[in-house]
Amino acid sequence: MTDRLPHTLRSDAQHNRERILDAARVVFAADGLDVPMREIARRAGVAPATLYRRFPTKEMLVTEAFTEQMHACHVIVDEGLADPDPWHGFCLVIEKMCELHARDQGFTAAFVSAFPHAIDFEARRDYALTSIGELARRAKEAGRLRPDFVLDDVLLVLMANSGIRASSPAARVSASRRFAALAIQAFRASPQAPPLPPAYAASTV
């Protein structure tokens, strides 16, 4: 019994940390970064003292929540790159990135605006874009992705996806999934597809 106690405590602490971060991401996405720490503790089902013991400041909590959000993005693009079918991997990235952004609800923009120097956001963003660009190159070579696709088209899709408004988070995710499916159909190589207008430089906006 005594031998198992330290492991149990570590497990409980990790569980509390995950509950706090899960609650923080949901609350920050829905209500912005000004939500009181006590409200986040209430949503997580932990005492305020437990929250402050794990995250002494709001900035630490927000930064950790955002870091995990970026990690989720990297996991998605790495999963796409690892797929032996580049078109399937490309579709997976579009679908999951759209859903991630639909759940995000402006959290990323709010974080970058409030804490511009908390983490190296540009390096993480560049990693994701470079990986998606490599995946797109493979899908083009396989003849599945339309040849006039450019990387800024992904940014354009994500910008449009972030504008989805719905009555509930579940409805927003559902609408995002349909939008992603429509975007994928547009990206698919087809002999009958007319050429696209000039590329829109979404990365400069």
Which residue reads 């923009």 in tokens? 109
In the chain, where the domains are located: 1-56, 58-204
Domain covering 58-204, topology: Tetracycline Repressor; domain 2 (1.10.357)
Query: What residues form DSSP beta bridges with 190?
Result: none
The CA-based dihedral angle spanning residues 105, 109, 45, 74, taken in that order and rounded to the nearest 10 degrees: 90
Least confident of 76-80, 87-91, 158-162, 191-195: 191-195
The pTM (predicted TM-score) of the whole model is: 0.75
Write the pLDDT tens digit of every residue in 116-174.
666 677 777 888 889 999 999 999 999 999 999 999 999 999 889 988 888 888 898 99
Please provide the CATH number assigned to the domain covering 1-56: 1.10.10.60
pLDDT at 195: 81
Q: Select the highest-mean-pLDDT range: 60-64, 166-170, 192-196.
A: 60-64
Write the pLDDT tens digit of every residue in 4-49.
445 444 677 788 888 998 888 888 877 788 889 999 999 999 999 9
pLDDT at 5: 47
Find the distance separating the first CA and the last CA of the chain, reported in whole Å.
59
Distant-in-sequence, close-in-space partners of 150: CB < 8 Å, separation ≥ 6 = 199
56's tokens: 């002494």
Report whether pLDDT(1) > 50: no
Q: How far apart are CA 99 and CA 105, in angstroms?
A: 10
* Residue type for position 81: L
pLDDT at 153: 94
pLDDT at 10: 61
